[in-house]
Amino acid sequence: MAQDANFDISKSVLPVLAVSIEEVKELFQRYGLLDDQIEFLQGWFKDTLGQAPIEKIAMLRLNGDLYESTMGELAPLYDKD
């Protein structure tokens, strides 16, 4: 989308968006959500979800702050019913 063009969300500009996999796993563990069914994919949605080993989705929580990132989540997952 035009509003997202050239919007810099890199770690140097928005460090709050750069969260390590260890931090994410720690939060899952803290709330009792970490089990053998959870699989973590590191990277940008547009780079990871298209190749993700996902067959079906029962529930999905999206966390994309921009139109472009939200569409980057939805497009590769659309047919995963």
Residue-level pLDDT at 55: 84
The C-alpha atoms of residue 77 and residue 24 are separated, in whole angstroms, by 22
User: Is the residue at 6 inside a domain?
Assistant: no
pLDDT at 26: 93
Q: Is the dihedral of CA 50, 55, 73, 44 positive or negative?
A: negative
Q: Is residue 2 part of a domain?
A: no
Enclosing domain of residue 55: 11-77
Residues 6+ apart with CB under 8 A from 25: 34, 40
Number of domains observed in the structure of the chain? 1
> Would you state the pLDDT for residue 9?
67
Q: What is the pTM of this model?
A: 0.61
The 10s digit of each residue's pLDDT in 9-42 is 666 766 677 778 898 899 889 999 888 888 888 8
pLDDT for 30 equals 95
Neighbours of 45 (CB within 10 A): 22
Which of the 8 DSSP states describes residue 37? T
Q: Give domain status of residue 45, yes or no.
A: yes
15 assigned to some structural domain: yes
